[in-house]
Amino acid sequence: MGLSWMAWTWPTVAFFIFIALAITTMGIWEKFSPGGNPRRGVLGLDTTRGDRLFISILGSAFIHLAWLGVMGTPLWGALIISIAYFIAVFKWV
């Protein structure tokens, strides 16, 4: 059957490489500094580094989907908003 039905563009490949690198980096960070000291954020939830990474990735996916639905392509604006969201999540959530 093959993978010809999938849209493997460079942005798609870059996205999956980013996810793999983020998970690998978090694993190495956890090995050298276990626990991650959960902290209470703006939403009142205790979150660890892994929780904040998951929230950041999930939120960024929704930001991109909303951008596509409202603005269409290109996605540079969604990328900038997602990076700001990622920083905000790791700082305040």
Q: Is residue 5 part of a domain?
A: no
- pLDDT value of position 20: 92
Q: How many domains does the chain have?
A: 1
- pLDDT value of position 3: 57
- pLDDT value of position 34: 80
What is the chain written as a DSSP string?
A: --STTS---HHHHHHHHHHHHHHHHHHHHHHHS-S---EE-TTS-EE-HHHHHHHHHHHHHHHHHHHHHHT-S--HHHHHHHHHHHHHHHHH-
Per residue in 34-79, pLDDT (tens digit) is 876 788 877 788 888 888 888 888 999 999 999 999 998 888 899 8
Q: Is residue 4 part of a domain?
A: no
Q: Is residue 82 part of a domain?
A: yes
Q: Is residue 1 part of a domain?
A: no
Q: Is residue 2 part of a domain?
A: no
Q: 80: domain range?
A: 10-92
pTM check: above 0.85:
no
